């Protein structure tokens, strides 16, 4: 930082508390939060009071446990709406979901694995139980395999290893995958630039996923369609596959063109 | 915990009682970034959130450090960073809309002394998943598992007004094909475009001729952050109790509950 300006220390301390919450799979007790954030419980409590007032955290009235609150949700949603690539993806996926009668997803990487950040159920509302925050398997889902093929996060490799060795508690949604052909499968995905699921892990349900790359060339997120095999054939020349590939190319190119952001905001 | 200067230490001590003021102040900057959806210049960001630019800058330095804010290297503009989406995912993972809804309807039932139902979209249409009974009103035809008519019940009309049109058409057609005695509550009838538009505008629905004579219901939608309907909340009571106070008291209480719940799920009514 050139200006080397002083920050606000208590904001940075609050960041430690929020990070501790983000690392936890479940609501937390004050003393555990304090320990993870390296604070004394009384001090942590003061921070939590303010974080609660703002809506960063919520406290369950019955258990007293802390979890991320509505303002945390709002920050995530605002990021989805404000980021030019995710904002464009949301609009285009809505059209595709309605054209094919399937569900659309935006999946991003979190420390727990590939996580659903956005769903558009279209008119398939009642059929699939996928919701924001749900986590996919890295090896056993079309979404996850794209992170295996293109992702850069340091947690990916150990997660693949754990899943393939069946040591992982199966937290994510996905099928069991054989170790032997996994590298080959990832190679194919890299070559073809998309990944599909056919009838697995859910019989009769297919999915097609494409990677969206950030301006830096890193994998930014994954866009997916998921729906009944009847509505969503996923062969090489299937309309949904071709249109998703097109969407992936357009969105990744949008990011690569530095003029686009200004152009879009001028419209 | 050591702080660089004594002054700050005393400030932090005081805050043990009333929280940490700078967290509450600083969140105004994040709120502004959420609202604008565009990368912002320091001076605009400071102005909107009521800070002097230098003060805003100090906050932004720290927000950048924790990753919730990013700064464009070329333009110098600020926008939400990768930790914002991680926080959002954390909330999505641990937040259970049904649990929040259960809390809300229990409060609403206590406050109004009415029966309150949570209705979700199921494979066969609007489906009751929970009924909070006030104990005063007998409600013979609403229980978990009850499937409502799309057009002949208040709850059904809410889904008819706020689900995608194709899904509504399919569901109404399916309902019309059902034989008599299918067990669905409410009688299918024609619903005009004007009625649907009115429901969208006023934000709640009711029916003139309810399925059970003498019992009236009002229903309102709960939305998630993407603007999709998650569930409907329906208040049900006997005419002599609910009707005199419906407009003045019960409908406002219902709407307050559904709006608070939608807000908690990240919903923001679209601007303009």
* pLDDT number for residue B227: 84
Q: Where are the domains of chain A?
A: 9-69, 83-260
Q: pLDDT tens for residues A59-96? A: 988 899 999 998 999 999 899 988 889 999 999 999 99
Same domain, residue pair B191 and B115: yes
Query: Across the strands, what pairs with A113?
Result: A110
Looking at the DSSP bridge assignments, the partners of residue A205 are: A228
B174 and B254 share one domain: yes
Among B71, B91, B111, residue at a domain's last position: B91
Distance (Å) from the C-alpha of residue A149 to the closest C-alpha of chain B?
A: 21
| Residue A265, pLDDT score | 41
pLDDT band per the 50, 70, 90 thresholds, residue A154: confident
* Contact residues, chain A, for B36 at CB < 8 Å: 82
Residues B113 and B235 reside in one and the same domain? yes
Instruction: Look at residue B18 in the predicted model and tell me its pLDDT.
Output: 56
Q: Please give the pLDDT value at position B16.
A: 42
Same domain, B87 and B101: no
Determine the distance in angstroms separating the CA of A170 from the nearest CA of chain B, rounded to an integer: 16
pLDDT at B78: 95
Mean pLDDT (chain A, rounded): 86
Q: Chain B residue closest to A264 (CA)?
A: B38
Domain A9-69 has CATH 1.10.10.10: yes
Q: Same structural domain for residues B73 and B147? A: no
Q: Are residues B66 and B171 in the same domain?
A: no
Q: Report the pLDDT value the prediction gives residue A112, as an integer from 0 to 100.
A: 87
Closest CA to A82 of B143, B194, B78, B271: B78
Closest-CA distance of chain B to residue A196, Å: 24
Please give the residue that has the higher pLDDT: either A256 or A22: A22
B24 vs A19, A54, A127: nearest CB: A54
Q: Looking at the partner chain, which of B19, B58, B66 has a beta carbon nearest the beta carbon of A15?
A: B66
Chain A residue with the nearest C-alpha to that of B80: A79
User: Quick one: pLDDT at residue B139?
Assistant: 64
Is B4 inside a domain boundary? no
Inside any domain, residue B249: yes
Say if residue A246's pLDDT is above 80. yes
Among candidates A45, A120, A265 on the partner chain, residue whose Cβ is nearest the Cβ of B38: A265
A198-210 pLDDT, tens digit each: 988 788 889 999 9
Instruction: Tell me which of B56, B91, B126 is where a domain ends.
Output: B91
Please write the tens of the pLDDT for every residue from A18-28.
Answer: 999 998 888 99
Pairing of strands A205-213, A195-198: antiparallel
Per-residue pLDDT, averaged over A122-129, amounts to: 63
pLDDT at A212: 96
Bridge partner list, A25: none
Look up the CATH number of the domain holding residue B104: 3.30.450.40
Spell out the per-residue pLDDT of chain B, length 272, in tens.
444 444 444 444 444 445 688 999 999 999 999 988 789 999 999 999 999 999 999 999 999 999 999 998 899 999 999 899 999 999 988 888 888 899 999 999 999 999 999 999 988 899 999 999 887 666 667 888 999 999 999 999 999 999 988 889 989 999 999 888 888 999 889 999 999 999 999 999 999 888 888 889 999 999 988 788 999 999 999 889 999 999 999 999 999 999 999 988 888 765 33
In this structure, the answer to whether residues B80 and B111 fall within a common structural domain is: no
Considering its fold, how many domains does chain B have in total? 2
- Out of 3.30.450.40, 3.20.20.70, 3.30.450.30, 3.90.226.10, select the CATH number for domain A83-260: 3.30.450.40
Q: Tell me how many residue pairs between chain A and chain B have CB atoms under 8 A apart.
A: 226
Query: Is the pLDDT confidence value at A254 over 70?
Result: no
CATH number at residue B32: 1.10.10.10
Per residue, what are the HEC states of chain A? CCCCCCCCHHHHHHHHHHHHHHHCCCCECHHHHHHHCCCCHHHHHHHHHHHHHHCCEEECCCCCCEEECHHHHHHHHHHHHHCHHHHHHHHHHHHHHHHHCCEEEEEEEECCEEEEEEEECCCCCCCCCCCCCCEECCCCCHHHHHHHHHCCCCCHHHHHHHHHCCCCCCCCECCCCCCCCHHHHHHHHHHHCCEEEECCCCCCEEEEEEEEECCCCCEEEEEEEEEECCCCCCCCCCHHHHHHHHHHHHHHHHHHCCHHHHHHHHC
> Which of A11, A90, A222 best tests the B interface by mutation, with the highest count of B CBs <10 A?
A11
Give the residue from B91, B119, B142 where a domain finishes: B91
pLDDT of residue A3 exceeding 50 = no
pLDDT score of A54: 92
Name the residue range of residue B113's domain: 97-264
* Interchain CB distance below 8 Å, B265 and A74: no
Residue A264 has pLDDT above 80, yes or no: no
Q: What is the mean pLDDT of residues A221-250?
A: 94
Nearest CB neighbour to A70, from listed B4, B81, B263? B263
Residues B71 and B147 reside in one and the same domain? no
Interface test with A, best of B18, B32, B37, B86 (most A CBs within 10 A): B86
Q: Which pLDDT does position B2 carry in this prediction?
A: 40
How much is the pLDDT for B270?
55
pLDDT for position A123: 64
Q: Is the pLDDT of residue A194 over 90?
A: yes
Question: Does residue B8 belong to any structural domain of this protein?
Answer: no
The pLDDT value recorded for residue A248 is: 95
């Amino acid at each position: 930082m050139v200006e080397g300006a002083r920050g606000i220390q208590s904001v940075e301390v609050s960041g430690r508390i929020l990070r501790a919450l983000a690392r936890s799979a479940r609501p937390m007790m004050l003393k555990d939060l304090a320990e993870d954030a390296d604070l004394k419980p009384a001090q942590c409590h003061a921070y939590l009071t303010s974080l609660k007032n703002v809506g960063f955290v919520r406290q369950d009235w019955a258990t007293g446990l802390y979890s991320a609150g509505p303002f945390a949700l709002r920050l995530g949603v605002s990021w989805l709406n404000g980021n030019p690539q995710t904002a464009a993806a949301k609009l285009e996926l809505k059209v595709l979901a309605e054209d094919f009668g399937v569900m659309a997803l935006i999946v991003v990487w979190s420390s727990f694995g590939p996580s659903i950040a956005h769903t558009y159920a279209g008119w398939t509302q009642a059929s699939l139980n996928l919701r924001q925050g749900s986590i996919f398997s890295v090896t056993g889902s079309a979404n996850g395999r794209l992170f295996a093929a293109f992702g850069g996060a340091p947690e990916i490799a150990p997660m693949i290893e754990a899943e393939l060795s069946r040591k992982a508690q199966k937290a994510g949604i996905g099928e069991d995958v054989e170790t032997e052909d996994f590298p080959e499968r990832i190679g194919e995905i890299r070559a073809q630039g998309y990944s599909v699921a056919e009838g697995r892990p859910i019989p009769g349900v297919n999915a097609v996923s494409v990677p969206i790359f950030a301006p830096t060339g890193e994998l930014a997120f994954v866009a997916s369609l998921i729906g009944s095999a009847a509505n969503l054939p996923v062969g090489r020349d299937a309309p949904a596959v071709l249109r998703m590939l097109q969407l992936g190319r357009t969105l990744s190119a949008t990011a690569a063109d530095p003029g686009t952001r200004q152009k879009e905001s001028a419209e | 915990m050591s702080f660089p200067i004594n002054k700050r230490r005393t400030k932090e001590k005081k805050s043990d009682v009333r929280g940490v003021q700078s967290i509450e102040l600083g969140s105004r900057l994040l709120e502004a970034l959420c609202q604008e959806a565009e990368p912002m210049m320091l001076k605009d960001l400071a102005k909107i959130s009521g800070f002097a630019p230098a003060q805003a800058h100090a906050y932004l330095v720290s927000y950048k450090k924790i990753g919730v804010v990013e700064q464009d290297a070329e333009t110098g503009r600020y926008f939400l960073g990768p930790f914002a989406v991680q926080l959002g995912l954390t909330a999505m993972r641990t937040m259970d809309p049904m649990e929040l809804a259960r809390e809300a309807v229990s409060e609403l039932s206590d406050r109004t002394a009415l029966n309150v139902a949570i209705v979700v979209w199921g494979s066969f249409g609007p489906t009751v998943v929970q009924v909070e009974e006030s104990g005063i009103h007998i409600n013979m035809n609403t229980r978990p598992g009850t499937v409502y008519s799309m057009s002949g019940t208040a709850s059904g009309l809410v889904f008819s007004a706020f689900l995608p049109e194709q899904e509504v058409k399919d569901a109404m057609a399916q309902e019309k094909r059902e034989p008599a005695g299918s067990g669905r509550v409410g009688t299918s009838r024609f619903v005009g475009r004007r009625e649907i538009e009115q429901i969208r505008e006023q934000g709640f629905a009711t029916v003139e001729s309810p399925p059970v004579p003498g019992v009236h219901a009002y229903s309102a939608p709960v939305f998630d952050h993407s603007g999709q309907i998650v569930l409907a909340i329906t208040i049900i009571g006997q005419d002599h109790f609910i009707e005199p106070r419906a407009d003045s008291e019960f409908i406002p209480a219902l709407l307050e509950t559904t709006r608070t719940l939608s807000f908690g799920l990240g919903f923001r009514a679209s601007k303009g």
